[in-house]
Structure 1
Amino acid sequence: MAEAPIELCCLLRALPGAEEALHAYEDKVTALVPEHGGELVSRAVGDGADGAPHEVHVYRFPGQAALDAYMADPRRLALAEERDAAVASTVLFPVAIRP
């Protein structure tokens, strides 16, 4: 039996002064998503004013195995130091994508 697709929303906030570093990090890791069968459905960039996220992503993966493979990708994990220097918070939660 096929796995159920997974759809996720991710809210990202940069550390003060690290907004461009966050965007550069996300450029690198979101490029890996298709290699794991996933899709970056949308990527919105904001200014982070009044506590709003600096980036909002919506992802679709064909199942948990694909998501797990992306999360465990050694290239993604190798960027942990870069991530820690730029990202203040990440909130990831399941959503349902509707047309």
Structure 2
Amino acid sequence: MPTPGAWPSSSSRRAPASSIPLTDWDLRETGYPVNGLYVTDLLDLFEVSAYKTEKRAEIEANGYKIIANIGNNSTDLVGGHAERTFKLPDCNGRLF
């Protein structure tokens, strides 16, 4: 369960827009409140790191402070806009 006052945000590389309900369900089922969810458009799948950097900058511009950026791919972590980054094992593209 997230720390009180924290706002978990997810940017997903799953299939575009159609994945929002599944990703929302996954996060809620795990115990995270969902206040915002970002997913790439189909054309953005080729510019993942730029998309994720842009969305982190947008979150900061809305007054939030990103204290951690966690991902299983280096493209999840590049571009700044987080105090710390944490690289998880790739596990063949799947997080468990």
Both structures adopt the same fold (TM-score exceeding 0.5) = no
| TM-score (normalised: structure 2) | 0.34
State which structure, 1 or 2, has the greater radius of gyration over its C-alpha atoms.
1
Larger relative strand fraction: 1
| TM-score (normalised: structure 1) | 0.33
Greater relative CO, 1 or 2 (CA 8 Å, sep 6+):
1
